Structures are given as C-alpha cells and as structure tokens.
C-alpha cells in the first residue's frame, strides 16, 4: 500500500515542510519506541513455546488488540477510508462483510480454538490440525505448512516492498533503502522475542489506531461544521453534493452489476472464519476461558468502533476536499488528519498508520518460521521447551526474513503483489472451511481436510493464471472448498 501525501491546495509550502519534518521526527521516535518495547518483551521468552505462542498465557485484552492490529493493519486507516472517500455509502458493504466475519470469529470460533489448543498442547496452527486429525497428521503437517509458508513468504516480501515505497513517497528515500529500513525495524524484536514481542508491539499499534479512528471523526465533524469555504459543512451534505452515486448503496451499478458489487463487499466475511493462521494463533494463545471472553468483548467493540470511524473519515474527506480531488484516494486519512489536527499530533497518527503497515511483516514472519520449525524441521525426541529449539526458531526466523528481503529486492513487484492479492483465497478460504468443519462437524476427517486444502490452493493457482477478478477468488475458493470438503467427507472413508 502506497502513501503519497499531497496537501490541500491552500496549504503553504512552509506548512508542508513543517508537517513533513514533524512526521519524520515523530515517526522515528515512534518506531524506536516500538523496537525497544518489543525487545523488552522478548526478555521474558525462555522456551520455544514462549517464542512460538507466548506460552499460551496471553491475557484476553492483549490477544484481542493484537489480533485486530494484525487483521486490519493499514486497511482500517488507509484502505477503508479511501474506499469511503471514493464510493460514498456504497463502501458500507465491504465494512459489513468484514465486521460480520470478525464478530463471528470472536463470538463462535476464538474460545473453541483456545480450548482445543490447550487440550492438544500445540504451538502452531497446522500442529493443531495434525493432532486433531491424527490419522493423517503427518501429511497435514507437510501440506498445510508448505501452503502457508509459500503464500506468506511472498506476503512478507510484499510488506518489505510496501515499506520501501511508502518511505520513498514520504521522504524520498530510495525504495531499495526503504526496504532495508523496513527490515531493520522489525527484525530485532521479531527474531529475539518471537510471538510475544510481536503481540505486545501490536497492542501499541491497536491503541494508536483506535485513537485515530475515534478522535479523527469527532474532531473532523466539528471542524467541517465550523469552518467556512469547505466543500460541505456536514457528512450528509457532502454526500449529496458529491452526486447521486455517493448516496446510493450500489453507486452507479444497477441490476446484476449491483448484485456483484454487494456480494464482492460481503465476501470479505469468509476471510475471517478461522482460516488466517496469523489471526487464529492469537485465539490459541489466550490464557484461559475467562480471558477468552474478555478478548471477545474487546475484539468486537474495537472492530465496530474502528469501522464506523474509518468510514466517517472517508466521508469527512469529501466534505473537506470535495470528491475526486486527491490524487490517491488512500491519501484521505493522512490528509484529513493534517487538516484538522496540529502537525505533531497528526504526525503521530500518520506514523501509527505507516508503522502498522510496515510491522505487519512481523506476524507473517513469525508464523512462517513457527510452521517450518514446529512441523518440518522438528526433532520428534526434542523437548518443546529445549534451548536448542528456541535457538533454531530464532535462526529460522532470521533466515526467512533475509530470503524474503532478497526475493523482494530482485523480483518484479507486480509479481509479488499479485500473489499477495490471492493469499486470502489460497490460505484463508480453504483453511476457514477446514477449521469450521473440524470444530462443528464430527464426521469431518483428516483425508477430507487434505483434499480441501489442495482444492483451495489449486483454484487459487488457476485464478492467478487466468487473471480473473481477485476479489471473486475468495468466494469461489471458499464455496468450492466447502463443497469438496462435504463430498470428500461423505465419499472417502476415514482412515483408522
């Protein structure tokens, strides 16, 4: 995701320079604090289980805030406000799909996965599936781990690319140098402290994000009501003046096209149903059932407030700047913040948005390293708490980061970003089906799980090759995986 700040035409060059300087200073201080905080938390990591899943002792509030920061990243602060700015109220369908999926995950899935992880004593996503379907556990470990590592390897590379491009757009740093800076930000605490450090740096990100998404809309509404010579003085007036498409739930689409628009937005629901391992691991790491309830309440409340705030920021952007006046719709959040807040405070909120995107790589990196260490490189006779396994986990994490950085450096960026666009289809859809049926259908078995995973991967690969619309891949992969899962459960006998 690229951020290229351009200020309102009336802003002076002096203000522009002052704001950029303050953003740079605040961002450097913010990132230094994050790295130091992550390393401090890493001091409490003593075993491989601590490194992989924080010893399954996370308080509910930490798990919830970390899961939300990881699940949203720059989407809640840049992507969704940009969608609202560009489409008006039609963007609400995507928000509804996301919120419905997140609420379902916390209400119906999170506590079950916490209990399952505790019962089976597992430290990885695929480790749980392998023990749950023990009759073919070895094959599930290999196939599921390779699938996750393959897709997430490119996902990590894309975060390095995105960080490089963002720093280039903001501060004119060469993209290659920006990629190195991005890697240097996340590597110290991720390699040293593993999952625990990632969790508690995410907590800081989530707090900054929710502050921006609450304070921004409140101050923004007051600002447009009291400031003359803007495009509009309220959100309803801004939407009305922007044109009929901005006040329609389907924009300019009608008939079949309107249905496709609605379903495309609602389809994000399927991506949150337990199939994103980097999110599911937060559920599995919660300390006890009571903490799981606290996590559920905080996760749901955070989500509802954040999505309402993100939509409002986009609509406030219409009122301040008018529709279509920003060169990039995803500039709307930082542009609004710089318009309504003093530069230093705006800089903190913008730095939080950028850092949230940059640090997404830490969750993906530790998840991939954990899958490799726990399922593909583990020694059956080795203790989970052994110091040698902890050291190997750190070495694998560092090695994966270096390889992903090299791949991002030399690979065409459009190739990596194309593959990332299909991660939710290749990983989220089939694994969501597997998790749901594992938890809620007793007849579902390991052979059917393997066939389901392979189906999702195959459909995603075919989708990439044919170049069909990427958002449709999620729905098609989920529905096809679900159909194959049911048929294979009924037709293929369970291995004794």
Domain boundaries, the chain: 13-412, 422-496
- Please tell me the CATH code under which domain 13-412 is placed: 1.20.1730.10
Cα dist from 306 to 99, 185, 269, 276, 414, whole Å: 10, 26, 16, 20, 30
DSSP class of residue 267 equals G
pLDDT in tens, 19-54: 677 778 888 898 899 999 999 999 999 998 899 999
CA distance 298 to 234: 30
DSSP-based helix, strand, coil % in the chain, nearest 5: 80, 0, 20
Cα dist from 156 to 136, 187, 264, whole Å: 30, 12, 26
CA distance 116 to 321: 50
pLDDT in tens, 61-93: 999 999 999 988 778 888 899 999 999 999 999
Residue with tokens 């560009």: 86
Residue from 171, 238, 227 nearest 339 by CA:
227
Could you tell me the pTM of the whole model?
Answer: 0.90
Q: Select the more confidently predicted residue: 8 or 483.
A: 483
Residue from 219, 221, 192, 189 nearest 205 by CA:
189
**Given CA atoms 30, 35, 41, 43 in this order, what sign does their dihedral have?**
negative
CA distance 222 to 451: 55
Strand, helix or coil for residue 155 = helix
Average pLDDT, the chain: 87
Please state which of the ranges 102-116, 307-321, 342-356, 452-466 shows the lowest mean pLDDT.
342-356
Please state which of the ranges 123-127, 260-264, 304-308 shows the lowest mean pLDDT.
260-264
Evaluate if residue 435 carries a pLDDT over 70: yes
């Amino acid at each position: 995701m690229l951020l290229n700040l351009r200020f309102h035409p009336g802003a002076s060059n002096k203000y522009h320079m002052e704001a950029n300087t303050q953003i740079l200073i605040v961002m450097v201080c913010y990132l230094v604090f994050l790295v130091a905080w992550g390393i401090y938390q890493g001091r409490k990591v003593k075993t491989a289980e601590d490194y992989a899943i924080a010893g399954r002792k996370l308080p509910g509030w930490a798990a919830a805030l970390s899961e939300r920061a990881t699940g949203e990243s720059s989407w809640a602060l840049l992507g969704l406000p940009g969608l609202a700015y560009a489409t008006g109220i039609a963007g609400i369908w995507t928000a509804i799909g996301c919120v419905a999926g997140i609420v379902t995950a916390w209400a119906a899935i999170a506590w079950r996965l916490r209990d399952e992880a505790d019962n089976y004593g597992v430290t990885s996503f695929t480790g749980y599936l392998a023990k749950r379907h023990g009759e073919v556990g070895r094959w599930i470990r290999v196939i599921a781990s390779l699938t996750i590592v393959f897709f997430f390897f490119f996902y990590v590379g894309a975060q390095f690319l995105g960080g490089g491009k963002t720093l280039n757009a903001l501060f004119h740093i060469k993209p290659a140098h920006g990629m190195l800076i991005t890697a240097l930000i996340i590597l110290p605490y991720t390699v040293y402290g593993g999952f625990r450090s990632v969790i508690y740096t995410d907590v800081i990100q989530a707090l900054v994000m929710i502050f921006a998404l609450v304070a921004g809309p409140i101050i923004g509404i007051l600002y447009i009501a009291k400031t003359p010579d803007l495009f509009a003085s309220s959100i309803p007036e801004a939407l009305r003046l922007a044109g009929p498409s901005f006040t329609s739930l389907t924009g300019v689409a009608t008939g079949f096209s309107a249905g496709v628009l609605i379903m495309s937005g609602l389809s994000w629901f399927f991506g949150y149903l337990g199939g994103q391992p980097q999110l599911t691991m937060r559920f599995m790491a919660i300390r006890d059932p009571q903490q799981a309830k606290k996590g559920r309440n905080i996760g749901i409340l955070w989500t509802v407030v954040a999505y309402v705030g993100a939509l409002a920021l986009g609509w406030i952007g219409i009122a301040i700047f008018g529709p279509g006046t920003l060169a990039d719709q995803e500039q709307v959040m930082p542009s609004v913040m710089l318009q309504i807040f003093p530069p230093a405070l705006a800089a903190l909120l913008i730095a939080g948005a950028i850092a949230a995107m940059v640090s997404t790589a830490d969750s993906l990196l530790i998840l991939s390293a954990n899958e490799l260490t726990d399922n593909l490189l583990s020694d059956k006779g080795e203790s989970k708490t052994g110091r040698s396994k902890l050291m190997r986990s750190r070495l694998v994490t560092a090695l994966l980061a270096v390889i992903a950085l090299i791949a991002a450096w030399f690979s065409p960026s459009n190739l990596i970003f194309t593959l990332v666009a299909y991660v939710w289809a290749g990983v989220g859809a089939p694994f969501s089906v597997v998790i749901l049926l594992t938890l809620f259908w007793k007849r579902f078995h390991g052979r059917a799980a393997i066939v389901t995973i392979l189906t999702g991967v195959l459909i995603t690969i075919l989708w990439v090759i044919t170049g069909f619309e990427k958002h449709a891949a999620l729905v098609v992969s989920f529905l096809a995986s679900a159909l194959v899962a049911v048929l294979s459960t009924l037709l293929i006998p369970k291995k004794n």
